[in-house]
Structure 1
Amino acid sequence: MYRRGHWGVSLLVFAPVGLALVLAGRPDLAVVGGGAMLWLSTLPDVDHRLPVVSHRGPTHTLAFAVLVGAVGAGAGVGLASVLGGDRTTFVAFGFGIGTLGILAHLLADALTPAGVPLLWPLSSRDYSVSLTRADDALANYVLLAVGVCATAAAGVVALRVA
C-alpha cells in the first residue's frame, strides 16, 4: 500500500484501542497512541532507503514488530520519568503501540498480491490475501476513508459514553 492506505489501516486498527483508552480514563494516551500509530505507519518502508535490505524483507516481519515494540517500551520508560506515573503502564503502552503500529503496516501490505514474510527468518513464505494492488489509488483512498470513519465513530462513542 501507499502512505494514505497505511494511514487508513493504522487508524482503523487503533480506533478500538483509542476508544478503550478513553473509556479507561486515559484520553491523553489515546491521543499520543493515535499520533504514534500514524508516525509508525510507514516505518517498515524505510527499507526503500536501505541499500542492503530488500523491500518487504526483514522490516515487514513479526520480528520487526516486536523490535519496534521493545523500542516503544524504552520510550515508555522515558515518558514515565518525564510525565510521572506508573512506569509499568507506560512501558506496556509503548510496547503495545510500537508493535501494533508495525502490525497495521503488515496488515495493509498483506492485502496486496506481494504480501509480507511475517515469519522471517523462520520461513520465507509471503502471506497475502491478494485483495488489491499496492498502487491502486482508489483502494488507498478507501482505506484512508474507512480509517477516518472508524476513528470518528470511536470518538462519537467515547463522547456519548464518557
Structure 2
Amino acid sequence: MDRTGHFGGSLLLFYGILSVVGGGGDTAQTLALSLVAGAIAAAMSVSPDVDTGLGGIFHRTWITHSLTTVFIATGATYILFDDIFHAGPLSGYVTLAVLSATLSHVLLDSLTRKGVPLFGPFDEKMRGLKWFKSNSLVLNIIFLGAGLAAAAYYYGLIRF
C-alpha cells in the first residue's frame, strides 16, 4: 500500500470507530478534537514506513508491521496522554488516532503480496491475504475515497 491508501485507511478506521461508538461532533470541542486527531491518524499512518529512507532497515519486520507494535504504541500513547499529561478528552482521541494509524497500516499491508509478520516477534511468518501489489493505484484510491467518505459522514456532510 502506498501513502495514499494508508491515509485513507487510517481515516476509514478512525472515523468508522467514532461513528459506531458515538462521540459525535455535537460540540465545538469534539469537532476540534476529532479533526486534530483525524489529521494525526492520517499523518501517522505512514510512520511504519519511515525507515524506507534509511534503506528499509526494519521495514516489514515485527518492529514496524505487527500487532505487537500496534498494542505497544496504542498503550504507550494512552499512558502518556492520560496518566502523565492528564490531557482529558484529548487522551481518547489521540489514542484512537494512534490505534487507527498503526492498525490500518498493518492490516492494509497484509493485503499486499509481501504480507506482514502479524504475530511478530513470536512468529515471523509473513501473513495476510496477499492479493494486491503495494502500488495498486485502484486499491489506493479506493481506500482514500472510503476514508474521506467516512470523515464526511462523521461530520454530517453526507448521509447514507
> TM-score when scaled to structure 2?
0.80
> In structure 1, how many angstroms separate the alpha carbons of the residues matched to 2:56 and 2:151?
37
Letter in 2 for 1:129: L
Structure 1 vs Structure 2 CA RMSD: 2.5
**Selected match of 2:23 from 21, 24, 27:** 21
Does the Cα contact within 8 Å between 2:33 and 2:90 map onto a contact in 1? Answer: no
Q: Confirm or deny: 8 A CA contact 1:72 1:97 kept in the other structure.
A: no
Question: What pairs with 1:106-117 in structure 2 (closer than 5 Å)?
Answer: 106-117=106-117
Confirm or deny: 8 A CA contact 1:106 1:116 kept in the other structure: yes
The answer for the alignment partner of 2:142 in structure 1 is 142
Please give the per-residue CA displacement for 1:41-63, whole angstroms capped at 9, x wherever unaligned: 10100231345833211211112
Question: Which runs of structure 2 are paired with 1:67-146 in the superposition (5 Å)?
Answer: 67-73=72-78, 74-76=80-82, 77-78=84-85, 80=87, 86=88, 89-146=89-146
Alpha-carbon displacement from aligned partner over 1:95-146 (angstroms, at most 9, x marks no partner):
3332222001111111111111111010012221123110112221121112
- Deviating 4+ runs (over 4 angstroms): none
CA distance in 1, matches of 2:152, 2:135: 26
In 2, the alpha carbon distance for the partners of 1:107 and 1:24 equals 31
Q: What is the TM-score with the length of structure 1 in the denominator?
A: 0.79
Select the structure that is richer in helix. Answer: 1
SS in structure 2 at match of 1:119: coil
- Where in structure 1 are there 5+ consecutive unaligned residues? 81-85
- Bigger mean CA offset, 131-140 vs 4-13: 131-140
Is the Cα–Cα contact under 8 Å of residues 7 and 144 in structure 2 kept in the other structure?
yes
CA contact (8 A) 1:21 1:27 kept: no
